[in-house]
Structures are given as structure tokens and as C-alpha cells.
Amino acid sequence: MNPVIEKINAAVKSAAEKCAAAAAAADIEAVRIEFLGRNGLFPALSREMGSIPAEQRRETGAAFNAGRQQIQQLIDEGVARFAKGGDESAIDTSLPGRRRPVGRKHPVMEIADECVAIFSRMGFVPVSGPEMEDIYHNFDALNTPADHPSRDEQDTFYFPDGRILRSQTSPVQIRVMETHEPPVRIVAPGRVFRRDTPDATHGMNFHQIEGLYIDRDVSMADLKSVLLTFAREMYGEKINIRLRPHFFPFTEPSVEYDFSCVVCGGKGCNVCKNSGYIEIAGAGMVDPAVLKNVGYDPEKWSGFAFGLGIERLAMLRYRIPDLRYLYENDVRFLEQF
Ligand SMILES: [Zn+2]
């Protein structure tokens, strides 16, 4: 290979690298000037051809032409790349833009936010706590007996170190009372976990909102009035509530409370199983033992607590017959809300 062919090959390589690295049209023009311009490399090589031995001229001439063509092509491509409006063939700026689908709040979050808004108007402050809890806050401090079935590994998710995924939002109440002097008026919305087999009304994780009100002389009548106000803000002025005696370790006395049926208004239908009422959740006056656990004097302070299942509220609001629809992530379903 003679020195001219070597120079041609090196020039093609160098031109390709420079074109690839070019950041603007001026860089491409500089390549053209360097290699093909009047005082550039190729005209100079052309003059050198005279010194090539006759038997090599044919081969060298072919390499010269091929090299010049390759560099010209690199330059043409570079010019096209940076040409003003050079992409016009690909982008028609007069076409309307593509609409991106707009996201929206999940119905469960929608209802959770609505609950928080309603309780905020009644003076409850939203707070949150950890989803990974210890036994003390989830059970012991809430007065849950040592042999209570909810502590069972069949019902609660345990970590190897003995901590758990909280089975209720109530530990947040304990954490707030441990760190705040009364009076306390909070709501704690959040995700909870239970080892249930998912079906139309149960899931392994779902959402609760829990309320706690501690002050002087708080009574069951205050609890009932808060629940009734909530029921009417959520489902309309015609809703009534009903309290039924129940038992929870955390409260004494305890009640389960029902809303009059949001579908039939109390006349009886298949949603309320013809009872006119729909079970909502549990509530009650905070047990003095729980107040003592957090260092409050039960002689001075009293209060109530209540819980709500957010999925249940959403299912009633939107007439969703099966809890699992909420978590299948089917956009056709979610788009309805
Ligand atoms: Zn009904």
C-alpha cells in the first residue's frame, strides 16, 4: 500500500469521526473545508498522484475516488442532520398534538380524602403512623388480651424479628397519645393488613380511617353526633345511624354502628338485606386501661374512638358489589370514577 492510499484511508476515518462528533452545521462545514475544500487534503493528494509509480496509479486513483465519495456522503448526511428545519419531513408542526391520557385519583383515595375533609371540618387533625408496627402498639397498648385471635399468625402478618404489618390504624392513636398531652382530636387514615383470603368483602390489605377524641367530659352523645354528622356529609341529609352494643378490647362501652341504607333509604333492599341498615364499623368510649397505658389520668380525661373501612364507604358510595374490582387495576373500571 503506498503512502497516498494510507493518507486516503486515514482521511476517511478521521472525517467519519468528526462528522459523528459534530454538534452543529458549522462542524460539518469544517470537515468539508479540511478534506474537500480548495486548499484541503484531497486536492493536495490529487497533486501528489503525479509522483506515484505508473503501475500503482490505477489502484491509487480508485482509492482516491472512493475516499472522496465516502467523505462527500458523510458531509451530505451531516448537512441534512443540521439543516434548518431539516426534520420537517418527520415532524409536521401543523398537526394537532397527541392527547395523553390524564390520570385521576383512585376511588379509594378519593373517599379517604373526602373523609379527612369532613372530619377536618369537625376539628379533627389528620395524622399518620408506620405500617410496620410492633406488638406493643398494635395489640398490648390497645388492651388486646394475650390470647385474642387477632394476634394469631393466621390473622396477622409477622416479620421474623417479631414486628408486624399493622392490622389496624389504632396504633397511631397510641403513638399520638404517647407524645401529646390531652386534649387530642385526630383522624388517622391509612393502609392495614390482614391474612384474609380475598373475597367480595375482604382483602389482605385495605384502608381504614380511625378517629380519636380525648377531652374533659366527652360522652357517648358526642360520639353519636360526630358519626351522624359524618354519615350525612358523606351520604346525604336523609341518612340516620344506629348504635348497637358490642365488645372491643380498646373501648368500653363499645358499639357497632350502622347507617340507614344508602340505596333504599331504609325501606329494605338487597344491599341492606331488607334490614334497612348497613353495618359500617365499630366505635366506643376509650377504655380507661388504654388511657392509663399512655399516661393519661382516666379520672380527668375521657374520650371516644371510632373506625371506618374506606373501601366499604367507597363501595357504598359507588355501588361497587365486589371489593376486588378496586384492586384489579382495570382501567375500564377505574375510569368510571
Ligand atoms: Zn337497602
3-state secondary structure of 281: strand
Span 23-62, pLDDT tens digits? 888 899 999 999 999 999 999 988 888 888 888 888 999 9
CA of 236 to the centre of ligand 1 (A): 15
| Interatomic CA distance for residues 72 and 37, integer angstroms | 11
The DSSP bridge partners found for residue 282 are 256
Q: Is the pLDDT higher at 24 or at 83?
A: 24
CA of 263 to the centre of ligand 1 (A): 5
Residue 282 has a pLDDT of 92
| Interatomic CA distance for residues 333 and 278, integer angstroms | 24
At 68, which amino acid appears? R
Sign of the Cα torsion 175, 179, 183, 188 reads negative
- Taking the mean position of all CA atoms in its chain, how far away is CA 324? 18
Domain residue extents for the chain: 3-82, 107-334
Which has the closest alpha carbon to 295: 186, 210, 181?
181
Q: What is the largest distance, in Å, between two alpha-carbon atoms of the chain?
A: 118
Instruction: Note the pTM of the prediction, 2 decimals.
Output: 0.68
CA of 237 to the centre of ligand 1 (A): 16
CA of 268 to the centre of ligand 1 (A): 4
Banded model confidence at residue 84, pLDDT cuts 50, 70, 90: low
Q: Residues with Cβ within 5 Å of ion ligand 1? A: 261, 263-264, 269, 271-272
Residue 88 has a pLDDT of 52
CA of 231 to the centre of ligand 1 (A): 15
Residue 292 has a pLDDT of 92
Count CB neighbours of 71 within 10 A.
Answer: 26
CA of 278 to the centre of ligand 1 (A): 8
Span 188-209, pLDDT tens digits? 999 999 988 888 888 888 999 9
The DSSP bridge partners found for residue 241 are 259
DSSP 8-class letter at 198: P
| CATH fold label, 107-334 | BirA Bifunctional Protein; domain 2 (3.30.930)
Around 270, how many Cα atoms within 13 Å sit in the side-chain half-sphere? 2
| Interatomic CA distance for residues 184 and 156, integer angstroms | 29
CA of 327 to the centre of ligand 1 (A): 25
Banded model confidence at residue 89, pLDDT cuts 50, 70, 90: low
Q: Is the pLDDT higher at 144 or at 216?
A: 216
CA of 8 to the centre of ligand 1 (A): 90
CA of 64 to the centre of ligand 1 (A): 92
Tell me the CA distances in angstroms from 79 to 10, 28, 70, 85, one per residue in order. Answer: 22, 7, 14, 11
User: Over pLDDT 90: what percentage of the chain?
Assistant: 56
